[in-house]
């Protein structure tokens, strides 16, 4: 049984508005749901730099025709942030759709306190080290998944300011990000928690121009390779070699991007359609 118990973290690092502006930090990102999840600010400096924001509004109806969904229902997220630890649909071996919470907890985590510490560092898994790090390597070899999304958000930096962009499919279709997943048994509640991490890679040309500080992006899995990503069994020795072809993002991916408002950075109000709508920043237009 899936457990939502690990939806909150109690350890929070606080930043004043002045300190955020001085250090170039974005506003805390909304959980984008109704569960009252507490945000995790310990990694606030990374919020604008990593693959921490996505939009998941339409996947499930589209998935009914292709995968076993077992009547699972999910909230609508026009925008949701990783450190809200949302529950979203992911496609695993079968293929079937399961409810998984963002922020991977490896099966060997001893207790809830340890699980909470680990998952704050596992919302993203870098492809360069996913087969090496203890938190990821078992899942990378044996439990890979697809995360169907409408799109995702990244921040562009100019003159020490952050400008959010929304990235979607050129035909406005649902597409899939590469992920890894895990099942962790909570001995306190005797419940099994399903969690996942988004695999990231070096940005292609378009994404490097947008996400121009870290130059990273989530791995996008094209339709013709999705079965291979979740179904193929890879031996420990050959897994990294098999994965290389998935991790190189070509420049001709069918994705487009546009700037969106900084509503994305406002807690409690960002899970609305307006968060994905195009927004003009005069300073970006003038600099072109």
Best-predicted range by mean pLDDT among 19-28, 61-70, 188-197, 232-241? 188-197
Q: Which residue has the higher pLDDT, 23 or 84?
A: 84
> What pLDDT is attached to residue 286?
67
> What pLDDT is attached to residue 62?
64
> What pLDDT is attached to residue 132?
93
Alpha-carbon distance of 275 to 85, in angstroms, equals 19
Q: What is the pLDDT of residues 93-143, one digit of tens each?
A: 988 889 999 999 999 999 999 999 999 999 999 999 999 999 999 999 999
Predicted confidence (pLDDT) at residue 146 exceeds the cutoff of 60: yes
Q: What are residue 208's phi and psi, to 5 degrees?
A: -65, -35
Q: What is the pLDDT of residues 169-222, one digit of tens each?
A: 999 999 999 999 999 999 888 899 999 999 999 999 999 999 999 999 999 999
pLDDT tier, 51 (very low <50, low <70, confident <90, very high otherwise): confident
What number is the average pLDDT over the span 69-91? Answer: 87
> In this predicted structure, which of 69-73, 153-157, 199-203 has the lowest mean pLDDT?
69-73
Predicted confidence (pLDDT) at residue 72 exceeds the cutoff of 60: yes
Spacing of C-alpha 126 from chain mean position: 12
Best-predicted range by mean pLDDT among 35-44, 115-124, 232-241? 115-124
What number is the average pLDDT over the span 59-83? Answer: 76
Q: What are the extents of the domains in the chain?
A: 27-286
Sequential DSSP letters for 88-149: EEEEETTTEEEEEEES---TT--SHHHHHHHHTT-SEEETTTTTTSTTTHHHHHH-EEEEEE
* pLDDT more than 70, % of the chain: 77
> What pLDDT is attached to residue 174?
92
Quick count: other Cβ atoms within 10 Å of Cβ 265? 21
Alpha-carbon distance of 236 to 239, in angstroms, equals 5
Q: Residue 62 to residues 69, 97, 275: CA-CA distances in angstroms?
A: 11, 12, 22
Can you name the residues that pair with 90 across neighbouring β-strands?
98
Mean pLDDT of the chain: 82
Q: Residue 38 to residues 81, 273, 275: CA-CA distances in angstroms?
A: 11, 22, 20
Cα 101–Cα 86–Cα 270 angle in degrees, nearest 5 = 165
- 229 is written with which tokens? 């990503």
Cα 110–Cα 102–Cα 262 angle in degrees, nearest 5 = 135
Predicted confidence (pLDDT) at residue 253 exceeds the cutoff of 90: yes
CB 12 within 8 A of CB 40: yes
What number does CATH give the domain 27-286? 3.90.1680.10
> What pLDDT is attached to residue 6?
38
Predicted confidence (pLDDT) at residue 73 exceeds the cutoff of 80: no
Query: For residue 170, what is the DSSP state?
Result: T
Can you name the residues that pair with 157 across neighbouring β-strands?
162
């Amino acid at each position: 049984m899936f457990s939502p118990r690990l939806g909150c973290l109690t350890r929070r690092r606080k930043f004043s508005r002045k300190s955020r502006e001085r250090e170039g930090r974005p506003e805390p990102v909304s959980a984008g749901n109704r569960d009252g999840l507490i945000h995790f600010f310990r990694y606030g400096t990374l919020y604008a730099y990593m693959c921490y924001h996505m939009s998941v509004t339409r996947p499930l109806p589209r998935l009914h025709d292709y995968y076993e969904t077992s009547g699972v229902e999910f909230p609508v997220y026009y925008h949701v942030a990783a450190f809200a630890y949302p529950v979203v649909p992911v496609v695993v071996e079968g293929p079937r759709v399961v409810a998984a919470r963002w922020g991977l907890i490896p099966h060997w985590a001893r207790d809830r306190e340890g699980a909470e510490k680990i998952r704050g560092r596992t919302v993203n898994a870098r492809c360069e080290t996913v087969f090496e790090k203890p938190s990821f390597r078992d899942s990378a070899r044996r439990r890979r998944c697809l995360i169907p999304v409408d799109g995702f958000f990244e921040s562009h930096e100019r003159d020490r300011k952050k400008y959010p962009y929304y990235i979607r499919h050129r035909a406005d279709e649902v597409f899939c990000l590469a992920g890894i997943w895990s099942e962790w048994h909570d001995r306190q509640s005797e419940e099994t928690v399903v969690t996942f991490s988004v695999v990231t890679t070096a940005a292609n040309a378009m994404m490097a121009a947008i996400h121009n500080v870290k130059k990273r992006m989530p791995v996008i899995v094209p339709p013709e390779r999705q079965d291979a990503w979740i179904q193929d069994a890879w031996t420990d020795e050959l897994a990294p070699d098999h994965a290389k072809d998935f991790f190189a993002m070509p420049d001709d991916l069918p994705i487009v991007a546009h700037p969106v408002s900084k509503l994305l950075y406002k807690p409690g109000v960002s899970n609305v359609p307006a968060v994905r709508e195009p927004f003009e920043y005069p300073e970006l237009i003038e600099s072109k």
